[in-house]
Amino acid sequence: MATAIQEKNEVVRVIIVEDYKLTRVGLRSTINEFENISVVGEAEEALSGIELIKKETPDVVLMDLGLPNMNGIEATQKVRECCPDTKVVILTSHDREEEVMAALGSGANAYCLKDIDPNTLAAVIKDVSKGACWLDPAIAKVALNLFPKPENTSLSSAVEVSDARAQLTEREFEVLRLLVKGKSNTEIAKELIVSVHTAKAHVCSILQKLCVDDRVQAAVKAIKENII
């Protein structure tokens, strides 16, 4: 019983790495309003941020992309090397194509725009701390535009795409489309009128069939290879 109560009340510890003070203050104030989430440290540049992360070993790091001395992409990669259990949520100020591509290649656990709704951000932090991945719908939309379906497709590539699609059931194809839109398992379940358990099972099957490790990689692969 004591263990169950402890898990229920477990607080997600967060560190913010962001060079703009007003943004850090705003994020800290917003995050600390939510139950079971607490900001335990802040840094205004990557190097001091990495040292702080090593010291505090937080559950989640909110990482800005445009940091002095070292950008958020490289910083994220170093965090994953030194603190593999710490989850990283990339925060971007806008959806410029080059930033989207950099974010998608960084290996972070989630990718969010800074104008994200506070309630959604809190949900992302909690979900990511438990091992989930998340792709902001706006970023997914930009990524879709970066990888338009070609008008003339070679026979070999067309066969590869066809094979990838053939592996998925009609329901899994629907789930994959929703993954690309950044939908959570709960949102997928609600939209498809199934249980959350069923939605999770579909996602797991998709990851296995596409040979990827998480839902973000699945979304990126679906976009790049024109599976959807």
- Give the C-alpha separation, 31 to 41, whole Å: 12
Question: How far apart, in whole angstroms, are the C-alpha atoms of residue 66 and residue 19?
Answer: 8
- CA 83 – CA 36 distance, rounded (Å): 22
The per-residue pLDDT for range 47-57, each reduced to its tens digit, is: 999 999 999 99
pLDDT, tens only, 126-149: 989 988 778 787 777 666 666 555
227 sits in which H/E element: none
Contact indicator for 134, 184 with CB cutoff of 8 Å: yes
In angstroms, the CA 93 to CA 95 distance is: 7
Q: What is the pLDDT of residues 59-94, one digit of tens each?
A: 999 999 889 889 999 999 999 899 999 999 998 876
Specify the CATH number for the domain of residue 66.
3.40.50.2300
On whether both 110 and 205 belong to a single domain, the answer is no
Whole-structure pTM value: 0.70
What pLDDT does 185 receive? 84
Q: Kindly state whether residues 160 and 55 are assigned to the same domain.
A: no
Residue 200 CB partners (closer than 8 Å, separation 6+):
185
Give the mean model confidence (pLDDT) for residues 195-203.
92
Domain holding 182, by residue range, is 147-224
